[in-house]
Structure 1
């Protein structure tokens, strides 16, 4: 007797949660502040790089930085976190 493969159960699509457009935006990390600051410089220096290669290059630069060089970006991230916490506390979902 040949065994027949078991039928897989039907996949149930998950209903996507509707996002409130008035909800406060999440805070950015220090790495994202660094990326926003350095992306234009990397692209200008390497105009033929693809988007993924630019991201990899920025990651390498971030890892190569010392903790003292990351301080300004950490301060921006801390300030943005405070902003987000205040906005989140003031936000009233409908």
Structure 2
């Protein structure tokens, strides 16, 4: 069984996760005493109601974070398997 490597790059966040991170505290302030599940439900409803124009900044952040992850993953894979591209065995 493979364990997760704490040095492996973190996966990129989705556009929704960037939105949720930006708005979670506001939802809690507007609804004192709200449960964790209710916060998630309200964030989901707000995300669904968001226009394409309002979603664009979050989608751009997600695209940039995806590229960051892919770049870090490529570097990480090479560092973990330096002979990946060797013609002869090491």
Cα offset, 1:66, TM superposition: 1.0
Structure number with greater Rg is: 1
RMSD: 1.1
Give 1:1-94 correspondences, 5 Å limit.
15=1, 17-91=2-76, 92-93=79-80
Q: Which structure has the highest helix share of the two?
A: 2
TM-score normalised by the chain length of structure 1: 0.80
Structure 2 residue runs without a partner (length 5+): 82-90
Cα offset, 1:23, TM superposition: 0.3
Cα offset, 1:71, TM superposition: 0.4
Cα offset, 1:93, TM superposition: 2.9
How far apart, in 1, do the equivalents of 2:6 and 2:63 lie? 24
Structure 1 residue runs without a partner (length 5+): 1-14
Aligned residues: 79
Kindly report structure 1 stretches of 4+ aligned residues shifted beyond 4 Å.
Answer: none
